[in-house]
Structure 1
Amino acid sequence: MELSNIYKYKNYKLLIIIPIVLIALSLYFIPKIPTGLDLRGGTLITVQTNSSFNESALRDALTKNLGVHEASIDTLKSPLGSKVEIEIEQNERIAKGEKDMKNFYSRNEEVNGLEYDISRFNSELELANLTQIEREEAQRRLAEAQARLPKAKEEMNSFADSVIGDYEFFVGKVDRSNATDTKSLESLLANTSASAKEKYKDKIIDVISSSMQMGEFSLKDVSPALSEFFVSNIQSVVAWSFLLTAIVVV
């Protein structure tokens, strides 16, 4: 007696629904994965101290005075004293300032490139040995560069204003009236950024030193760029997994 094939009338293509649901859930929950300081970005301070201190009070003082939501404190005691590791999440103003600085540099590079192109195409059009096609191409690209330049400058200046606004909280009023060209503006923003970060570090040390007697210490900034790289790449892996699964099943 021939047994019927129980798989004969099954539509296995419907099984793709399962990986689709799992992948959709993964894409939703991956950015919500709890991360450490190496992924979130922030400041890591290691302090040697011989004094006792109130961890809860120090944590409250750090979050209140630094404008952050989270600070963690780990203490390792030994006969020679205590080693205290303090992790402080990245200040939102500092983080936004860094992001706006990257955008400024991107637009600044574009402006410099457009200005170079305009100068180059104008020089090319002065040549007498250009063919008609070459002349038309140079004119077209010159027109494109001239049309884009004002908008690129506007965006660059907008990001510059944002950077200054981000960091004025730490350094006070910034006068950009003397920054009349891109070079001087770039220098002003770089100095403002460095000054703001230095003052922020000084404030961190002031808060800690008011709660404990500080011996040797180290302070290290941790960039959140690794987190952005990690999340973007793992999401790409999940998306490619979905695509390959769909190809195999279909």
Structure 2
Amino acid sequence: MIPAVRRLLRQPSAVRFALLLLLLVTFGAVLLIVDLPEAHQLPRLADRMGALAPVAAILGGALLLVALVPRTFITLASGAIFGALEGAAYALGAALLAAALGFAVGRLLGREFVAERVRGRLARLDGWFARQSVLGVITVRLLPIAGFGLVSYGYGTTGARVVPFLAGSVIASAPTAFGYAAVGAAVTSPGDMNWFGAAPAALGLVASVVLIRRWWRAERQRRLGPS
């Protein structure tokens, strides 16, 4: 078994893929041992940055997302610092940047390895990702299968196209961005909480059901073929 592993690691694509796995394991381990700050502590951090706070929120949020920090925490924190609407906008900016970074890293480190080895059903699955539209990306993003960052890395290893992936990622993130940002804002300013802030999250739930149903019907029709 050891000689086989050595032969595998001599291949550049295998080395890059091993590096990707090591990166994900490291992020996961750090996330387990590092305590995230409380939401009510965050506005003081933003005050120290002054005018650079929005830029820091987007860049910092993106880096945290690619480090596998849950998007819920990022969005709640953004809402607590900047308020519901601004917080949601900055959280979406961070999500877009994080999706691009995760996709790029997955494509650079993992795509060649995966493309060389997919066979049978996995090859058909890879082809499905390659043909995926924005709607397909939205559907996958809304499914509770993995965290935001992990899905971005995974998409990069497939044949998915970057533009539909980024567009679908942002659209799928929008409803919960407004909902969680409103909740985050309520932590630091309880009087500002209102039902309008939570409305996008409710609409997102309805949209999730509709999109998943459409995806399921399209997949069923494809399997059955033309009648």
TM-score, normalised by the number of residues in structure 2: 0.29
Q: Which has the higher helix share?
A: 2
Question: Higher relative contact order at CA 8 Å, sep ≥6: structure 1 or structure 2?
Answer: 1
